Amino acid sequence: MTPHRPPAVVRHGAGYHLFLWTAFPLIGAALGLVLSMLPGWLTTMPEWVFALPFLPGPDKVEILARLSGPILTAVLVGLGVAGGGLVALSAYGEMITVEVADDTVRVITPDRATEVARDRFGAAFLDGKELVLLDAATAEVVRAATDHGAKRLRAAFEAHGYVWADGDPHGGDYRRWLDGTPDLDGHVQALLRTRRTALENKDAEDAAGLRAELARHGVVVRDEEGRQHWRRTPASPSDGDA
C-alpha cells in the first residue's frame, strides 16, 4: 500500500512579501526625493537645456525651485512610498497557491479556489505567465496568472504523479477564429465576437468570463497577438469547478 504523502505546496514565502513591502516603497521614496530636488538642479543647467520640448521654461523652473523645501520633499517622498505600496499591492493579483495532493489539485487565486480531483485531472502546463490545468476531456478548468517558475511547479505535480507538460499538449489542434466560420454555431460565434470586443477594450475580466462561457459550450480559446484561436473538446466538461 502506497503511504500517504503530504501535499506539495507552491506559494510565495515570507521573504517575497517582505521584499515587496520593502523594495517598492523604498524605490518610491527615492523617486520622490529625486523629484523634489529636480527643480533646484535644473536651475544650475545652461540656458540651451530649456529648449528641450519636455522641460518647462527657466522662469517656471525658478518658481518650482523656490517652492522646494522640507515640506514639499516630505510630501513627495510620502507620495512615493504610497505609490510603491500600490505597486506592491498590485503584485498580489498574480499570487496563487498551488496545493498538489495524492487525490486532488487545488489552485487558490485572490478571488477563488478551484479543486480538481485526480480522476478528473488531465495535464498541467504554463502558457506564458499563466498556469493552465486541463481535465480528462482536455477542457480548461484553471487558467491563472502566476509568477511561479515552471521548474518549481513541475516538481510539485510530478512528485504526486500528475502529468506536467512543457507546453499545451493540444496546441496543434487550435485554429484561428474567423467570424462566420461554419464550424461553429451562431451562439458560439456571438460569444467570440463579444470576446473580441472585450480584448480590444482590454477588459480582461469580461474576456475571462466569456472564455469560461465558451468552455461550457465545449470550445477552448486562447489568444495569440490579440487574435483568438479555438479548438473543440472531445466532450464538454461534465462538472463545474469545485
What does each C-alpha distance from 115 to 10, 120, 155 come to in angstroms? 15, 10, 19
C-alpha 237/C-alpha 123 separation (Å) is 15
Listed residue (140, 152, 134) closest to 96, CA to CA? 152
Q: Tell me the pTM.
A: 0.72
C-alpha 168/C-alpha 161 separation (Å) is 18
Q: Is the pLDDT of residue 236 over 60?
A: no
C-alpha 120/C-alpha 115 separation (Å) is 10
Which pLDDT tens digit goes with each residue over 6-49?
Answer: 999 999 888 888 988 999 999 999 998 888 777 676 666 666 55
Dig out the grid coordinates for 14 from the structure: 515570507
Dig out the grid coordinates for 85 from the structure: 505600496
- Selected residue with higher pLDDT from 58 and 224: 224
Beta carbons of 142 and 212 less than 8 angstroms apart: no
Beta carbons of 223 and 199 less than 8 angstroms apart: yes
The stretch 134-154 carries a mean pLDDT of 93
b/e code 200-232 from CB counts within 10 Å (16+ = b): eeeeeeebeebbeebbeebbbbbeeeeebebbb
Which pLDDT tens digit goes with each residue over 145-199?
Answer: 898 999 999 999 999 999 999 999 999 999 999 998 888 999 999 999 999 999 9
What is the edge-to-edge ordering of all strands in the sheet holding 175-176?
A: 175-176, 227-232, 219-224
C-alpha 157/C-alpha 100 separation (Å) is 6
Q: Is the pLDDT of residue 60 over 80?
A: no
**Class of residue 66 by CB neighbours under 10 A (exposed 0-12, middle 13-18, buried 19+):** exposed
